[in-house]
């Protein structure tokens, strides 16, 4: 389906004038030694992204995808579409737009925690603070009236997330089977196709930007992992869920107030046998709030300071910890931009659990251009979350999975 869509988009505009860009990167990462032969502490990968677009009057074609090949862990290898769609505007004022194809969505207002941003499947073998996204097959219509926009979406395909392999330090030391999709009445889908959809309203009122949404889809952020004792397999199970939520940002001088929330109502109560025993999806709410402060220094440098918190509500403390790594956490971050000709930036963040003792995540990134076409990004991540019981929960699964990384990118 993906290859057919790419072929269709390119041939549809075979005589059109496209603009494009791309990048190729060498990605190096080195984890601290865990003294286990079954895991891979080193990663050497080649990453590439290609983007091409064509816009003329009312129509637009976009193609963007990326691929990664890792020398040491072949289960990190994959190819994914991000955006590959056609859109067309109608009406005298062109305020009604139809879209078809694969699409990336960004429904978040906060820096670190994203309870409302749930459409796209993730690559869970990437940065845990901001997982890579995969494009979602989408049919949509968007109507703009003054400062408000109403969008209607259909998502006819269940896009599988990318899970870490057995050798990955960000995984569980196991290889997961192909996922199962629960469509209701205890029945599983035999393919990747089914009805999902939603509505979204966005509006700007002065210094306030807000959005509201309703979604019915297959939740792929927090699957239950079914254990088959007879053959020793582990299978992700995805359940249908109704989600209602929204985001808001309000700018007051140098401060930006942010809030993002969502409530999830699962439509199926099937019980699954997991490594922790019988489990079923449970309804719950998530709220993230924060402040961003921007300061321009006399030197011309910019300083952005962040403070955010996220909480899960409607579940016990034990179930909250099973649901998300950041179930009751506080985030502090600082971004320092030199605004020099090489675009030098330093970003440091600290995330700590305010409910569970001794769980912290430290992250430092430094980015800088070497020339107009070359850029590097380097830094480290430190995780401290010692085991508190017989099963690792939340951030405990990544305890001492510290790593340093270096990415060298060539843009063209």
| Digit-coded pLDDT (tens) for 176-206 | 999 999 987 778 887 889 989 999 999 999 9
Residue 364's CB is within 10 A of a number of other CB atoms, namely 15
Letter string b/e over residues 2-20, b meaning 16 or more CB atoms within 10 A of that residue's CB: beebbeebbeebeeeeeee
Read off φ and ψ for residue 396, nearest 5 degrees: -60, -30
pLDDT band at 16; cut points 50, 70, 90? low
Strands 233-252 and 180-184: what pairing?
parallel
How would residue 262 be classed by pLDDT, with cut points 50, 70 and 90? very high
Helix (H, G, I), strand (E, B) or coil at 7: helix
Element (H, E) at 89: strand 78-90
Residue 188's Cα: distance from chain center in Å?
Answer: 25
The secondary structure of 51-85, three-state, reads EEEEEECCEEEEEEEEEEEECCCHHHCEEEEEEEE
Q: Which of 1-10, 156-165, 211-220, 251-260 has the lowest mean pLDDT?
A: 1-10
CA 35 from chain centre, in angstroms, equals 31
Q: What is the average pLDDT across 357-363?
A: 95
Say what the pLDDT of residue 17 is: 74
CATH numbers and ranges of domains, the chain: 2-411 (2.40.160.10)
Question: What are the two backbone dihedrals, phi and then psi, of residue 75, each rounded to the nearest 5 degrees?
Answer: -75, -5
Q: To 10 degrees, the CA torsion angle through 367, 370, 375, 377?
A: -30
Q: Model confidence at 123, in pLDDT bands (50, 70, 90)?
A: very high
Q: Which two tokens stand for residue 284?
A: 């719950």
- φ/ψ of 128, rounded to 5, equals -70, -20
The neighbour count for residue 108, using CB atoms within 10 Å, is 19
For residue range 137-184, list pLDDT tens digits in order. 999 999 999 889 999 999 999 999 999 999 999 988 889 999 999 987
3-state secondary structure of 155: coil
CA distance 316 to 326: 14
Provide the 3-class DSSP secondary structure of residue 398.
Answer: helix
Please state the separation of Cα 404 from the chain's center in Å: 21
Q: Which residue has the tokens 């209701």?
A: 184
Q: How confident is the model at residue 7 (pLDDT cuts 50, 70, 90)?
A: very low
pLDDT score of 14: 47
pLDDT over 50 (residue 54): yes
pLDDT of residue 146: 86
Residue 8: the pLDDT is 47
Q: In this structure, are residues 311 and 328 in contact, taking their beta carbons and an 8 Å threshold?
A: yes
CA dist 282 and 275 (Å) reads 17
Question: Average per-residue pLDDT in the chain?
Answer: 92
Confidence of residue 130 (pLDDT cuts 50, 70, 90): confident
Q: Which two tokens stand for residue 68?
A: 């990664």
Can you tell me the mean pLDDT for 350-368?
A: 96
Q: Which residue, 116, 332, 292, is CA-closest to 213?
A: 116
Encoded tokens for 254: 């140098």
Q: How much is the pLDDT for 138?
A: 98
Q: What's the token pair of residue 336?
A: 């320092």
Q: How confident is the model at residue 290 (pLDDT cuts 50, 70, 90)?
A: very high
pLDDT at residue 332 in the model = 98
Phi–psi pair at 39, nearest 5 degrees? -110, 160
| Phi, psi dihedrals of residue 204, rounded to the nearest 5° | -115, 125
Residues 6+ apart with CB under 8 A from 225: 176, 234, 235, 236, 237, 274, 275
| Mean pLDDT calculated for residue range 222-244 | 93
Q: How far apart are CA 78 and CA 351, in angstroms?
A: 30
Q: What percent of the chain has pLDDT over 70?
A: 96
pLDDT at 154: 98
Rounded Cα gap, residues 173 and 38, in angstroms: 8
CB 179 within 8 A of CB 168: no
């Amino acid at each position: 389906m993906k290859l057919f869509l790419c072929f269709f988009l390119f041939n549809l505009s075979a005589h059109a004038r496209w603009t494009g860009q791309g990048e190729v990167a060498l990605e190096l990462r080195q984890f601290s030694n865990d003294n286990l032969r079954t895991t891979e502490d080193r990663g050497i990968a080649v990453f590439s992204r290609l983007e091409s677009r064509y816009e003329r009057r009312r129509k637009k074609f976009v193609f963007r995808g990326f691929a990664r090949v890792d020398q040491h862990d072949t289960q990190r290898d994959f190819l994914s579409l991000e955006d590959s769609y056609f859109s067309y505007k109608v009406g005298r004022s062109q305020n009604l737009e139809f879209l078809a194809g694969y699409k990336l969505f960004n429904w978040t207002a906060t820096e670190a925690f994203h309870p409302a941003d749930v459409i796209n499947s993730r690559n869970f073998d990437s940065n845990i603070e901001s997982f890579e996204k995969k494009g979602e097959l989408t049919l949509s219509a968007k109507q703009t009236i003054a400062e408000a926009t109403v969008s209607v979406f259909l998502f006819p395909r269940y896009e599988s997330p990318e899970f870490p392999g057995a050798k990955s330090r960000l995984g569980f030391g196991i290889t997961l089977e192909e996922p199962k999709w629960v469509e209701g009445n205890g029945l599983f889908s035999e393919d990747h196709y089914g009805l999902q959809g939603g509505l979204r309203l966005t509006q700007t009122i002065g210094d306030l930007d807000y959005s509201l949404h309703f979604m019915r889809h297959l939740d792929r952020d927090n699957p239950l992992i079914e254990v088959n004792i007879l053959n020793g397999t582990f299978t992700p199970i995805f359940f249908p869920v109704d989600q209602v939520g929204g985001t808001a940002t309000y700018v007051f001088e140098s401060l930006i107030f942010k809030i993002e929330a969502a409530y999830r109502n699962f439509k199926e109560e099937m019980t699954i046998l997991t490594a922790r025993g019988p489990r079923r999806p449970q309804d719950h709410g998530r709220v993230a709030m924060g402040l961003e402060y921007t300061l321009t220094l006399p030197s011309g440098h910019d300083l952005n300071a962040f403070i955010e918190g996220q909480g899960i509500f409607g579940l016990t403390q034990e179930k909250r910890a099973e649901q998300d790594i950041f179930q009751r956490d506080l985030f502090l971050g600082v971004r320092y931009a030199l605004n020099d000709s090489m675009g030098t930036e330093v970003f440091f963040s600290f995330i700590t659990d305010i409910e569970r003792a001794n769980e912290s995540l430290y992250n430092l990134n430094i980015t800088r251009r070497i020339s107009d076409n070359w850029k590097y990004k380097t830094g480290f991540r430190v995780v401290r979350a010692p085991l508190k019981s017989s099963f690792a929960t939340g951030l405990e699964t990544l305890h001492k999975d510290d790593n340093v990384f270096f990415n060298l990118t060539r843009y063209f």
